[in-house]
Amino acid sequence: MLALVLVGIGITLAGIFAVHKGFEHASQTEFCTSCHTMQQNYEEYKQSVHFKNASGVRAECVDCHQPKDLPGAIQRKLGAWKDVYNHYITKKIDTPEKFEEHRLELAQMVWNRMSEQKSKTCKSCHDYSAMDHAKQSPEAAKAMTEAAAKDMNCIECHKGIAHELPNMAGGFQKSFQGLQAEATAQGAKADKLYSLGEKDLYATDDAKGKVEGKLLPASEVTVLERKGDMLKVEVNGWLEKAGKGRVMTEYMGKRVFKATIRGEVKANEKVIKEETDPATDIVWQNVAVQAWITKADMIDNIQPIWNYAEEMYGSTCNACHAAPDPGHFTANGWIASLKAMSSYYRLTKTEERTLLKYLQNHGKDTGGAGAH
């Protein structure tokens, strides 16, 4: 009996030793980069400050990607089997080209995990309380003081610190393609529709006729008549009474642009009511105009557009820093704020206008009114 107990103890100890050595081996950078698809990531890492710096302190793969506590380490090792599975079984990332194709998806998984873990792998080395802000640049000291006050996750601002950033536009651009497919499937049959992009406005049902204005992205219209691929719609918005009356806005006194109108479309303008903006004493008119548009890229719900814009905002503005909540600025304030950041992102004019419309409709003084 004693012999069996001793054998059992021996097997247990041997098992513990084997697991320990296995963890130790699997936690080495050489092991992490042994797959050929990791070679590019390894080369990127070697160019980073985590590999070589003035202090001579190196962060290995495990320091960033594996929690120091045993439960967290075990969970990460078990989760890593998905990478092995996708490398050898599904062949999803078994070449550098395939890995690059999925870089955004893979990076997002890591960022999400770091965020959920409160960036504890980062904070095992970087401690807010240990920072001497006097030795930091003024910009860094200001940013880190604010981050410490909120106990922010490091990954909110420091994406791409050890590896190249993926193409952040890839995700939301695919989402937009999905919206276009959804709009095509719907066939613009609803009475209330919303524009995915800019739409030409016509005075007649001839799409080859003279353009008499523009319907801007994420704008609501009411369908009055259908004729083939053309829709006669009513556009409702606000105009400054003393202005030229060409730019319609979503709200009185707020530069949330909905449409531009001129010519015959402007001529059929109907004034619904007048109001004075108490903040500026400027008189505004709530008006409605009728125009024809093509039915392409019109969807029956605004929320999918906001979801797409929210994804665009997260991908574009979170790449460099923690993006402020949409409610941080007023609708008018977002115009200058987004313009100030425009040199740091690459969006088309339509994408930028959709993003601005989303932020304005969820601003401090609109209260998410555009979310319906």
Q: Which residues are annotated as a binding site for heme?
A: 32, 35-36, 61, 64-65, 122, 125-126, 154, 157-158, 317, 320-321
Give the relative orientation of helices 2-26 and 70-79 as an angle to the nearest 10 degrees: 70
Give the relative orientation of helices 303-317 and 349-361 as an angle to the nearest 10 degrees: 110
The number of beta carbons lying within 10 Å of the beta carbon of residue 334 is 26
Contact 101, 171 (CB under 8 A): no
Strand 254-261, strand 211-215: pairing: antiparallel
Measured between alpha carbons, how far is residue 118 from residues 55, 114, 152 in Å?
Answer: 26, 6, 8
Contact 337, 352 (CB under 8 A): no
User: Which residue positions form the known binding site?
Assistant: 32, 35-36, 61, 64-65, 122, 125-126, 154, 157-158, 317, 320-321
Residues 146, 152: Cα–Cα separation, whole Å: 9
Residues 214, 354: Cα–Cα separation, whole Å: 14
Residues 248, 240: Cα–Cα separation, whole Å: 9
| Burial state string for 112-151 with b = 16 or more CB within 10 A and e = fewer than 16 | ebbeebebebbeeeeeeeebeeeeeeeeeeebbeebeeee
Measured between alpha carbons, how far is residue 181 from residues 160, 184, 267, 281, 303 in Å?
Answer: 32, 5, 35, 45, 16
The tally of CA atoms less than 13 A away on the side-chain side of residue 95 is 3
Report the largest interatomic distance among the alpha carbons of the chain, rounded to a whole angstrom: 102
